[in-house]
């Protein structure tokens, strides 16, 4: 039951890109992802950790800037080519795929908003760097405010509450005070961040702004990396801001444009999560399929048992459906957004919810098909199941996201 490529328009060049990314994922990301999964969070981000070498290699190959224009140092890939590469990287390691995917966040947003100063300060240096020395993250979630932060773009969900990080005006500068939660992906290794903050005195998540900034400024500190159940190769942690002074030009989105930019960003972001979840489901299915052809029970490979084949067919169907939905949503929305046209957030939300639920079911079945071996770290399906579980909670718990998506229909 091999996967069938439904898109007959894919070119030889795109297949070569896909094959090269698969080779890097199989030879580098998969083994290092497994190694990092077994380390402590402190060991994962330590200077000698293989995480840094993997990110450097990905940067050298251009995988950390697939959509950036060639003239800026990017690969200049079209959305379909970008999806093909991203799926392979996340197939190798969902966590490391996330590290690479998020690293370009600040640069990509600077380019998207079209602010010349932000492009000069954040986009051009990142795209010109090929040694992994610059890494971005997105700091939006706060300790007491998860889904509250998306209320600005969802009618009927307005939240009136003081933010746990606020920005106050001081002459031509802005002062940031407060913190972001321990769920900021890439924070422990990031050099730069995009941060969503409430304007002081607003008492509402409708009155927010977006800043880009380096994380080595006076007053910025980080908490220890989070010790998590899954996605352990993707470091996450808190960021603290103690009266951090920023120049006016680093506010790239003012309150008047906040909800529109947040919707665009979440549209692209959740499309990427759908791609990553699809890749994880595919990895779990392929491992289970290979195992059932090797494991002998009742005098023959368990693959020959009807009940095993029925479960494999269910897994295959879910992966193929996830790939079709996530790819279609990713290509449509990235194409629209790069043209400066509005995307379809509810479709990205549907992709995230469906594909992460599918990944959880596929990974669960993969563990069951491994029997007792599926409970051990000797086989990667044990890690895949933990990673899939984390995906249904991280970046918006699935039940909550389904409600948000339904409100947009």
Is residue 109 in a domain? yes
Q: Does pLDDT of 203 surpass 60?
A: yes
**Domain hosting residue 279, numbered range:** 258-407
pLDDT in tens, 389-398: 999 987 665 5
- Indicate whether 268 and 369 sit together in one domain: yes
Domain C-terminal end among 257, 282, 304: 257
- Domain check: are 396 and 283 in the same one? yes
How many domains does the chain contain in total?
3
CATH of the domain at 59: 1.10.540.10
Judge contact between 223 and 182, C-beta under 8 A: yes
Mean pLDDT of 316-341: 97
For the chain, give the mean pLDDT.
Answer: 93
Whole-model pTM: value is 0.94
Task: Please identify, among 81, 108, 128, the residue that sits at the C-terminal boundary of a domain.
Answer: 128
Last residue of a domain, one of 213, 230, 257: 257
pLDDT in tens, 11-24: 999 999 999 999 99
Q: Residue 369 belongs to a domain with what CATH number?
A: 1.20.140.10
The verdict on 321 and 248 lying in the same domain is no
Taking residues 338-365, report their average pLDDT. Answer: 96
* Residue from 57, 48, 146 nearest 99 by CA: 57
The pair of three-digit structure tokens given for residue 294, joined into one six-digit string: 């090797």
Contact residues for 341 (Cβ-Cβ < 8 A; gap 6+): none
**341 pLDDT exceeds 90?**
yes
**Are 250 and 273 members of one domain?**
no
Same-domain check for residues 272 and 403: yes
Question: Does 331 lie in the same domain as 285?
Answer: yes
Query: What is the per-residue pLDDT across 206-233, written as a single tens digit (0 to 9) for each?
Result: 889 999 999 999 999 999 999 999 999 9
Who's near 355: CB < 8 A, 6+ residues apart? 273, 274, 275, 277, 278, 281, 322, 325, 326
**Claim to verify: residue 327 and residue 247 sit in the same structural domain:** no
């Amino acid at each position: 039951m091999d996967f069938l490529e439904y898109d007959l328009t894919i070119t030889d060049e795109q297949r070569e890109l896909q094959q090269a990314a698969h080779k890097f994922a199989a030879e580098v990301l998969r083994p290092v992802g497994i190694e990092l999964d077994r380390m402590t969070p402190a060991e994962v981000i330590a200077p000698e950790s293989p995480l840094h070498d993997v990110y450097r290699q990905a940067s050298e190959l251009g995988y950390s800037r697939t959509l950036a224009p060639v003239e800026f140092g990017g690969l200049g890939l079209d959305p379909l080519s970008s999806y093909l590469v991203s799926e392979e990287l996340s197939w190798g390691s969902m966590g490391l795929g996330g590290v690479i995917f998020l690293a370009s966040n600040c640069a990509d947003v600077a380019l998207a908003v079209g602010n010349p100063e932000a492009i000069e300060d954040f986009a051009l240096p990142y795209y010109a760097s090929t040694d992994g020395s610059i890494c971005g993250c997105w700091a939006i979630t706060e300790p007491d405010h998860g889904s509250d932060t998306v209320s600005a773009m969802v009618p009927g969900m307005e939240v009136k509450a003081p933010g746990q990080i606020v920005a106050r005006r001081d002459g031509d500068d802005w002062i940031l005070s407060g913190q972001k939660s321990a769920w900021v992906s890439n924070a422990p290794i990031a050099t730069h961040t995009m941060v969503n903050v409430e304007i002081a005195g607003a008492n509402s998540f409708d009155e927010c702004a977006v800043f880009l900034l380096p994380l080595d400024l006076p007053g910025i500190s980080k908490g220890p990396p989070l010790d998590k159940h899954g996605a352990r190769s993707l470091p996450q942690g808190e960021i603290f801001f103690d009266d951090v002074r920023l120049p006016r030009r680093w506010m790239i989105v003012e309150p008047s444009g906040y909800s529109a930019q947040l919707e665009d960003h979440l549209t692209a972001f959740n499309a990427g999560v759908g791609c990553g979840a699809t890749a994880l489901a595919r990895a779990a299915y392929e491992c289970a399929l290979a195992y059932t052809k090797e494991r002998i029970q009742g005098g023959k490979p368990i693959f020959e048992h009807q009940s095993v084949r029925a479960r494999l067919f269910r897994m295959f169907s879910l992966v193929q459906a996830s790939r079709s939905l996530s790819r279609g949503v990713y290509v449509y929305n990235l194409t629209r957004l790069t043209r400066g046209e509005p995307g379809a957030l509810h479709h990205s939300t549907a992709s995230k919810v469906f594909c992460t639920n599918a990944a959880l079911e596929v990974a669960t079945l993969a563990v069951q098909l491994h029997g007792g071996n599926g409970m051990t770290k000797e086989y990667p399906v044990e890690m895949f199941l933990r990673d899939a579980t984390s995906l249904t909670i991280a970046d918006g718990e699935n039940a909550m996201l389904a409600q948000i998506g339904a409100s947009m229909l």
